[in-house]
Amino acid sequence: GENVEQHPSTLSVQEGDSAVIKCTYSDSASNYFPWYKQELGKRPQLIIDIRSNVGEKKDQRIAVTLNKTAKHFSLHITETQPEDSAVYFCAARHTGDTGRRALTFGSGTRLQVQP
Amino acid sequence: NAGVTQTPKFRVLKTGQSMTLLCAQDMNHEYMYWYRQDPGMGLRLIHYSVGEGTTAKGEVPDGYNVSRLKKQNFLLGLESAAPSQTSVYFCASSYSQGVNEKLFFGSGTQLSVL
């Protein structure tokens, strides 16, 4: 099955700085890579996703990059704000096999933005 | 439109007791999932369903059973609870069209097994 590794497990940045979270995946057939944000005590929510036919996607201050050859993808947050403090999860899914329509999540990164 | 609703929100069990967690969604989603969240381990898939009447095993299915008798409901059962099943349980649903598949999560169930 798919295995997703995520680094770092914790990340502390100053407000206004950039934050980068990296993930690697094992199944070369995976073709969908979402990122979820979970604020303290809340449910995870999708913030951005990317397909395997795209190398980069941006949405305001967040961006995701994908390197299929190396099987890794990253989340970039620019101009960080205190409200960005949360746990971020990457995930990967293979969509070609009807028996495997489920996401495999990374272990999470706790991002703390210091004011 | 309530989205995904989980009950109960909190539960304490003794080892060996049984219980059922209920997940209900009102978005007419085909796919439903049960995940458990443990510190430092992310979200791990227990079981999932790709439609009414179907179920499939995820990464960590042992000790759990599920049923999807109605499209809107997905039940997770623990027949004989163990301390290792202490966790936060999240239900999720999605309406898969094409490649992308946004998950809508419930608010979670905090389960402690003593």
pLDDT at A6 over 80: yes
Residue B84, SS3? helix
Q: Does A33 touch chain B (CB under 8 A)?
A: no
Q: How far is B104 from chain A (nearest CA, A)?
A: 7
Mean pLDDT of chain B: 93
Q: Which of B44, B103, B107 sits opposite A46 (nearest CB)?
A: B103
Backbone angles phi, psi at B26, to 5 degrees: -115, 25
Q: Is A105 within 8 Å of B105 (Cβ atoms)?
A: no
With b for 16 or more beta-carbon neighbours within 10 A and e for fewer, the A39-49 pattern comes to: eeeebbebbbb
pLDDT digit string (tens) for A64-82? 999 999 999 999 999 999 9
Q: What is the CA radius of gyration of chain A?
A: 14
What does the pLDDT look like over A81-112, one tens digit per residue? Answer: 999 999 999 999 876 555 556 789 999 999 99
CB half-sphere exposure, A113, CA atoms < 13 A: 20
- B44 at A interface, C-beta within 8 A: yes
Which chain A residues have a beta carbon less than 8 Å from that of B59? 1, 104
